[in-house]
Amino acid sequence: MANKRGFIMSPKSVLFGLHDATSDFGTPVIKKDDLGPGIQAEANRDGTIFVNSKLPDNKIKEAVEHEKVHLNQMAQGRLQYSDDSVIWKRDTKSPAKIYRRADMNEGHPDFEWEKEAYKKQ
């Protein structure tokens, strides 16, 4: 007797590495094996959030909430990232401050954009 099971496709969360519990329409959360030393998550200009796949679910949720603040800051035109720098404006009327990524401890809670994100947690 032949096996009558057809092709079984994995769920999209498995195929794309999505974290279903925290992904929203328009804001997929993608699990990554290596984001770099000490990095739990990062917000991207395309609306995605990368999260360290080794984090437990409760830490993933915290990290995603934090990164959603950064997504909002980017959407408001107050925060921008490039390969070399972080550009921050306290509000849309303030002058931009440019921080060289090589000279900074990214994610440190003393930066204004981080203070906002940590306050929301």
User: 96-110: per-residue pLDDT in tens?
Assistant: 999 999 999 888 999
For residue 6, report the phi and psi dihedrals to the nearest 5 degrees: -85, -170
- The larger pLDDT score, comparing residue 14 to residue 60, is at 60
DSSP bridge partners of 10: none
Closest CA to 64 of 80, 88, 85, 40: 40
Angle at 87 between CA 83 and CA 89, to 5 degrees: 165
Give the type of residue at 88: W
* Mean pLDDT confidence for 57-63: 93
User: 22-53: per-residue pLDDT in tens?
Assistant: 777 778 988 999 888 889 999 999 999 999 99
Closest CA to 107 of 115, 96, 119, 97: 115
Query: For the whole model, what pTM was predicted?
Result: 0.82
